[in-house]
Structure 1
């Protein structure tokens, strides 16, 4: 047997072991579902970011309403302007959702094994969701910053590499972790609340609805209901995160962002961009979970 044949055999054997690993299967299923949902709902994320930034960044004389904003973007940046920031979004969401689902699988399996239970309670699912999202949030915070800045229209980076280099040069290593705390305050509670309500809703409906031809509709509906409340509760943290990542010199702390938003816009300011974010997070999470449930069933994780 030649060296090449030995190498081919070793690689095939390694792939067989890897592809049979449940954590890898969870990562793969999550990444596939993340790709689909990220591409479809990217315009909603961009609109959410634009609504949260200062009015001067939207354009002089332009209304901050959703419809005028869409019209302005299409007129000045064409239709594909709604997908600005797609590359960093994919770089963040595809491995991020894969990492989230694989962490969920690992933590859930560990919990069940050490508690002797056959399933997790809704509140336990919530805690597992918080932990899983915190892991992926910390790892991917630099890409989250790049995504926010690309979407905002405030910065004119030509590529992700240039953006990364400029942030590191001007702001140092801390610039690549800007807004980490509000990001975790947004993502971890969202995932915890979402998973808790998603699990509870699935338990509340007839088990027959989760099987057969109506299973996809049932999973999607459970996801939508869970996403609406989770999005509303975590919206203020998302607004603060956006301010800190776009204007690091003006908002060095969470407190400074909190005070500015309240003075400038009142309580309403903490919920800027709620509608597009609620639509995106709710539909994206519902779609991701629906696809994930189907894929895990097909590859033998269920």
Structure 2
């Protein structure tokens, strides 16, 4: 949890920049330079960390639920098949992420709203919750839940499946009487698996963020997921689904490497064996 909080805080400016680019903020943010200039102009240096408190707050429940669920789903599938293939890991990873996201999703919506609040409409987390409940109702906390779930399947499945497949491949072919692949191998596996997961799921993430932000970005009328997809294709083409991908990839690499490294260390200390 401490490692996750530290890594997210360090990369929070890139996280906010990614959200601004995904949500088509006004004024438009098209490059890393213009994005940082816009954020600094709007609220000064500390505005780079808007929304980070909620992002850190959801680390503990999100991470705990995800990895606990992943091990449970793995054990369930392994009991039925004795051995686990890449498809089993893909299914386990997807189900674990769906479980975690369903339970912490309101915090995800709250984080997006606070991250995009360039006009100080919200004075804090409690004020944001009160206004969302008053003007939009409880259902707004699950806004864009469908594209979020659709994006989870390729991201979590590809991410965890590729990570464990690469790690186990190294252990089988290059390890000498050791079940510990070492930090360098873990970081390499994490980097590759995370990048694959990001590329596979990013269009869903962009649609989700845009729908979550509709009420915050004045002048943008709420639209259904299918209509939004059509608008992006017509106005920007397929490249429109990858706005903000650069800060997203740059941001996620150090964060996910620390996360997986701590996960492996904690698993061994708790005596949880790989299936």
Q: TM over 0.5: same fold? A: yes
- Superposed displacement of residue 289, structure 1: 0.7
Instruction: Decide which of 147, 159, 164 is 2:129's aligned counterpart.
Output: 164
Q: 1:200, CA displacement in angstroms?
A: 1.6
For 1:201-229, what per-residue CA distance to the aligned partner results, in whole angstroms no more than 9, with x for missing partners?
Answer: 11332452895997011111001011112
Deviation of the 1:124 alpha carbon: 0.8
Counting only pairs closer than 5 Å after superposition, residues 210-221 of structure 1 correspond to structure 2 as 215-221=182-188
1:2-56 CA distance string (max 9 Å, x none): xxxxxxxxxxxxxxxxxxxxxxxxxxxxx45533432232222111001122252
Q: Which residue of 1 aligns with 2:96?
A: 132
Superposed displacement of residue 154, structure 1? 4.7
Tell me the equivalent position of 2:210.
Answer: 243
Residues 251 and 257, structure 1, Cα contact 8 Å, conserved in 2: no
Contact 1:210 1:218 survives alignment (8 Å): no
Partner of 1:41: 11
Aligned counterpart for 2:261 among listed residues 281, 286, 290 = 290
Is structure 2 residue 24 aligned with structure 1 residue 54? yes
Give a deviation string over 1:44-100, Cα, whole Å, max 9, x none: 211100112225245xxxx52112212332344333322211111112233111110
> How has the CA–CA distance of structure 1 residues 211 and 148 changed in structure 2, closer, same or farther, with 3 Å as cutoff?
farther
The corresponding residue for 2:233 is 262
Are 1:81 and 2:52 matched, yes or no? no
Distance, in Å, in 2 between the alignment partners of 1:174 and 1:66 is 33
CA RMSD in angstroms, aligned pairs only:
2.3
For the residues of structure 2 that align with 1:209 and 1:280, how far apart are their CA atoms? 34
- Indicate which of 129, 140, 143 corresponds to 1:175: 140
The structure-2 alpha-carbon separation of the partners of 1:211 and 1:71, relative to structure 1 and needing over 3 Å to count, comes to farther
Q: Are 1:64 and 2:51 counterparts?
A: no
| CA pair 37-98 structure 1, distance change in 2 beyond 3 A | farther
1:140 aligned counterpart, secondary structure: helix
C-alpha displacement at 1:285, in angstroms?
Answer: 2.2
Deviation, structure 1 residue 139: 1.1
Deviation for aligned residue 1:130: 0.4
Which consecutive unaligned segments of at least 5 residues does structure 2 have?
none
Task: Determine the structure 2 residue equivalent to 1:202.
Answer: 167
**How many residues are treated as equivalent by the alignment?**
266
Give the corresponding residue for 1:191: 156
User: Normalization by structure 2: what TM-score?
Assistant: 0.87
Distance in 2, Cα, partners of 1:242 & 1:254:
11
Q: Quick check: which has more Rg, 1 or 2?
A: 1
Identify the match of residue 111 of structure 2 among 126, 131, 147.
147
Deviations 1:217-268 (A, max 9, x none): 1111001011112111111111110111111572331012112222332222
Is the Cα contact below 8 Å between 1:209 and 1:218 reproduced in 2? no
Distance in structure 2 (CA, Å) of the matches to 1:39 and 1:110: 35
Which of residues 264, 267, 271 is equivalent to 2:242? Answer: 271
- 1:103 and 2:103 aligned: no
